[in-house]
Structure 1
Amino acid sequence: MIIISILLVSCSKSFTGAEAALQGQPTGTAFWANADAATAGRAVTAIYANLRSWNNVGMAPVCLENMGSDDAVKGSVANDATYVNLYDNFTVTASEGQLDGFWIGQYQNVNFCNEVIDNLPNISMDASLKARYIGEAKFVRAYSYFRLVRAFGNIPLVLSLPSTAEELNPKQVSSAKVYLAIEQDLTDAATVLPATYGPADIGRATKGAALALHAKVAMYQNKWSDVLTYTKQVMQSGVYSLFPDYYGMFRIANENCSESIFEIQCNYVAGNGDLSNSQYAQIQGNRDANAGWGFDVPTQNLVNAFETGDPRLQATVMMEGTVTPSGDAVPMASAGAPTMYNMKTYVPFAVATADNQGADQNFRVLRYADVLLMNAEANNQLGNTADALASLEMVRARARAQSVNPLVDLPKITTTDQTTLRTDIWHERRVELAMENDRYFDVIRQGRAATIFGPLGWKANKNEVWPIPQVEIDKSGGVLVQNQGY
């Protein structure tokens, strides 16, 4: 925790706050003076520690990465955190605080990574470990920039520790340039990261994580040949497989299972607050069961999207008056409270008490089913219908095997029409990855947002991105430019 505090001081509150960066710079310099391999290891650990912070997995990402979709609505009770509604109905303005929280969280990650990437080459240590550490930092930097570019479009691209006045107050670059930098980081990371780790290093970025994220980044740019290349490498690695129990996959006991490609590791420590305890599950836990705050709840629209007999519905949506597969009786909603909750963040009610309302729950970032569906979509786009159907069927077969009537439920998709199959794959992405922060950006990159989100208030040529936080524009002295329509 000491190393986290030191490095946090060395980074500005945001990369556009030049005075804060200058103020903290001597502490960062002092930290790296006479650094050794142990120092490097602590610095890399700090990168992972910050990933589970409030601005990375708390309310800000819930608002920016899921609330705009047709999968979720605010939840909780009417007078609690009413600002969440602004993301749900697309009336948010640049002054809303979650925008800046998300911005700060991602750029803190970037600065942690730049500290390692810039300083490690000067340290005398084992060359392969040094390369791995730098690869881990590049993976996390790519992940943070991917979150930023999806959310905001044109953003500052900071790839080294700032030193000049211009570097301390950088201009925005095009999203295309950001994507190029992300892809370079992931290419570099995949070259040096191991396929697996031993038990002591579970949760670190792997070669498969870099390849899977690269596939997703390529998908957002319609680079279908690249998507196919990277997903095939993951599929042929022999490291990953679909976990047989879809519901069980999201429980704490099965974190980092065979399907997990990258998870943000969260471990409950009593009284430790944001330093180690994630609040992602707490935000979404069942309010009436005193298991959380009850935000970011599923919609009836999402419930209706599941096919009859799809067991993933029960594993995704916790409904009032039912009993969870883990044996908790879900209470009927009190006045004004939600009637449904996100089952994927569920922690048994007996555990979700006091400050441990899901604090142990890992944040799933990448899993193998996502890779299979990206592979299916890429194959379909490239005219490889049989391969597309095969990858799609693997995902459906896992769900079908857990259904009550496996001979009837979730029949195989057999269409060879490219347009129809594309729609089927998009549907499968929705139900398979529901409430996992993909649906909103998926629909936008598919070009369907005006049709699907339009009735919710979404407007073309504006809501493809969120507004740049006004506080960052102000701190930059106008160097940063607001997105169109805000």
Structure 2
Amino acid sequence: MSCRTKPSRSKDFLANPDNARQLVTGAYNKNLDYETYAFSWIGVTSITSDDADKGSTPGDNGTDKHQLDNLDFVSSSLSFNEVWKSRYGGIGRANKAIFYLDQFNIDANLKSRYIGEVKFLRALWYFDLVRCFGGVPIITTEIDINDEETVNNTVYIRKSKQETYAQIESDLVDAIDRLPLKSGYAPQDLGKVTKGAAQALLAKVYLYQEKWQQAYDMAGNVITSGEYALLGDYAQVWRQVGENKSESIFEIQATLTNGITDYTNVQGPRGNPDLGWGFNTPSESLMNAYEPGDLRKEATIIFVPSVLWDGQVAPTTLTNPRYNYKAYHSSIAEDWDNNKSVTAKNVRVLKYSDLLLIRAEAAFHIGNTGEALDRINEIRNRAGLADAGAVTLQSIWKERRLEMAMEHDRWFDLVRTGQAASAMAANGKNFIVGRHEVFPIPQEQISASGGRLAQNPGYN
């Protein structure tokens, strides 16, 4: 939510066309905030799952990460509140941008593209919210914070899960019509939201709603566009050398001067040498899930002791036996200015391999097992594995786990596929069916609403 600019100031603001670009940049930059994709997001999407443990040291709880690891979800949790606040902060920026972009006297095609970029971002944040909390308040316009009636009836009233997904779909369908292909951007605009990114996110949104034919078709649009391909070396996907390359569909863009706050620092190896806080360590369950010869294992998990890809050593003086390789930022082979808190490492949000997996899962559900097998084998071959002779839903889910390990999808995949209770039980944790499918609405937000925001079932 954001309040409107005063009329006199608005006239001056609209007189400068560069302000249109700055509004869009401001929406993108919300993804760089600590509250958006760093510690809290890592906690609720990864530490909760069977892919990862809390890590760090037994005495360092990371405020509430020990609770997340134990599935002890409480409405007072800092992490849930930061996820909520950061997404609505981004949505507020998006709404403001759309409100003013309509009024700028700039090139019509550029204006339309800007609106498409911002609508994608708004859809992405709502997708995060609906996966975490279920149905949430839907705010798509500038709201005057002094308009108590509108605030009470819009900002503080939850819509249904179905209505939330409908809003996400609406934004993405519109964005698809407005955005160019990846190849249609000038080199200086590399990393901006593309038509393929909007199609990819829409395919994922369809998958989560079990709209199998639509997920299949939309993923197919991305695959047949000729804009994307798997990188030859899986290990390079999350390194600087792989940024914005053929496998990248959408990444959070980071530079040394405008980086993602503490994403790598939170997950960096802890101990001597001190490379980070040591949280979100790959679990024994994940380690044991790989087949012999799967190249993804060594590319996903830093084993202690070992020599890292850049020649650095992970010695026995580190605190934990395993760390997240995908979050590792090299201080000697990648852009580095000795600031662990803000790094130039991009965070991958949508990858081509994700789309192949979406296509495979949707294909299986509509009876096209041949297509599903082809896509799974494409991924397996890149991982150094032999073709599978047949495919099942369980084998597709397993490939998804291994391909996307430590990439913030595992918890949501367990929930949407109904595997959460059994997977958590195998890890000695109690997933409560009917409660843990969603997280609690943050108590701070319920209090701010005067009790208007309804809590999710099973939570106080």
Indicate whether the TM-score tops 0.5: yes
- Matched residue SS, 2:314: coil
Asked if residue 427 in structure 1 is aligned to residue 398 in structure 2, the reply is yes
Pair 1:44–1:300, CA change in 2 (3 A) = same
Give how far 1:37 is off: 2.5
The aligned residue for residue 293 of structure 2 is 309
Any conservation in 1 of the 2:200–2:355 contact (CA below 8 Å)?
yes
**Of the candidates 21, 37, 41, which is equivalent to residue 21 of structure 2?**
41
8 A Cα contact 1:290 1:353, kept in partner: no
Cα distance in structure 1, aligned partners of 2:117 and 2:29 = 13
Percent of aligned pairs with the same residue? 38
Instruction: Supply the AA of the counterpart residue of 1:191.
Output: D
**Any conservation in 2 of the 1:75–1:338 contact (CA below 8 Å)?**
yes
The farther-off stretch of 105-114 and 349-358 is: 349-358
For 2:41, the equivalent position in structure 1 comes to: 61
Q: Which moved more, 1:308-317 or 1:72-81?
A: 72-81
Q: 1:322 aligns with which of 282, 288, 306?
A: 306
Aligned equivalent of 2:31:
51
Greater alpha carbon shift after TM alignment, 77-86 vs 121-130: 77-86
Aligned-pair CA distance for 1:333: 4.1
Q: Which amino acid aligns with 1:396?
A: R
CA contact 2:213–2:366 (8 Å) conserved in 1? yes
Query: Residue 30 in 1 paired to residue 9 in 2?
Result: yes
State the partner residue of 2:389: 414
For the aligned residue pairs, the C-alpha RMSD in angstroms reads 1.7
Asked if the contact 1:232–1:375 (Cα under 8 Å) also holds between the matched residues in 2, the reply is yes
1:229 match = 217
Within the alignment, does 1:481 sit opposite 2:460 as a pair?
no
Aligned partner of 1:387 in structure 2 is 371
Q: Secondary structure at the match of 2:249?
A: strand
Q: Return the letter of the residue paired with 2:276.
A: G
State which drifts further: 39-48 or 454-463. 454-463
Q: Which residue of 2 aligns with 1:184?
A: 170
Q: 1:281: Cα distance to partner?
A: 1.0
Equivalent residues in 2 for 1:170-319 (5 A)? 170=155, 171-196=157-182, 197-269=185-257, 276-288=259-271, 289-319=273-303
Deviation at 1:177, TM superposition (A): 0.2
Which range is displaced more, 198-207 or 434-443? Answer: 198-207
In 2, Cα distance between equivalents of 1:296 and 1:311:
21
Is the Cα–Cα contact under 8 Å of residues 376 and 388 in structure 1 kept in the other structure? yes
Q: Shift in Å at residue 324 of structure 1?
A: 1.6
Structure 2: tracts of 5 or more residues without a match: none
1:113 matches 2:99: no
Task: Specify the alignment match of 2:356 in structure 1.
Answer: 372
Quick one: which amino acid aligns to residue 435 of structure 1?
Answer: M
> 2:77 pairs with 70, 74, 96, which one?
96
Contact kept? 2:290, 2:297, Cα under 8 Å = yes
Is residue 190–residue 244 contact of structure 2 (8 Å, CA) maintained in 1? yes
Q: Measure how far apart 1:413 and its partner are.
A: 1.3
Distance 1:366 1:346, change over 3 A: same
Q: Which residue of 2 aligns with 1:465?
A: 438
State the alpha-carbon separation in 1 of the partners of residues 309 and 32 from structure 2.
27
Whole-angstrom CA distance in 1 between matches of 2:285 and 2:11: 52
| Letter in structure 2 aligned against 1:447 | G
Give the Cα–Cα distance (whole angstroms) in 2 for the partners of residues 286 and 200 of structure 1: 34
2:131–2:438 Cα contact (<8 Å) kept: yes
Give the aligned residue type for 1:280.
Answer: Y
Q: Distance in 1 between matches of 2:73 and 2:369?
A: 41
| Per-residue Cα deviation, 1:351-398 (whole angstroms, up to 9, x for no partner) | 777423571111100000000011011111111111111111111111
Partner of 1:125: 106
Q: Give the length in aligned residue pairs.
A: 445
Q: Note if 1:72 corresponds to 2:52.
A: yes
User: Match of 1:403?
Assistant: none
* Cα 1:38–1:328 shift into 2, 3 Å: same
Contact 1:278 1:361 in 2 (8 A): no
Q: What letter is aligned with 1:249?
A: V
Tell me the distance in 1 between the aligned counterparts of 2:327 and 2:340.
13
- Paired residue for 2:120? 139
| Separation in 2, partners of 1:384, 1:358 | 45
In structure 2, the CA distance between the partners of 1:306 and 1:27, relative to structure 1 (3 Å rule), is: farther
Distance 2:95 2:285 in 1: 42
Deviation at 1:463, TM superposition (A): 0.4
Structure 1 distance, partners of 2:101, 2:337, is 42
Is the CA contact 1:242–1:369 (under 8 Å) kept in the aligned structure 2? yes
Q: Distance in 2 between matches of 1:353 and 1:484?
A: 47
List runs of 5+ in structure 1 lacking aligned partners: 1-14, 16-20, 270-274, 401-409
Does residue 1:396 correspond to 2:374, yes or no? no
Counterpart selection for 1:443 from 414, 425, 429? 414
Shift of 1:123: 1.6
Work out whether 1:346 is the aligned partner of 2:319: no
CA contact (8 A) 1:328 1:349 kept: no
Letter in structure 1 aligned against 2:372: A
**Aligned AA (2:158):** Q
Inter-partner Cα distance in structure 2 for 1:439 and 1:29? 49
Q: What one-letter code is carried by the residue in structure 2 that aligns with 1:144?
A: W
SS of the aligned residue for 1:261 comes to: strand
Match in the other structure for 1:11: none
Shift of 1:168: 2.0
SS of the aligned residue for 1:173 comes to coil
SS at 2:451 equivalent: coil
Partner-residue secondary structure (3-state), 1:230: helix
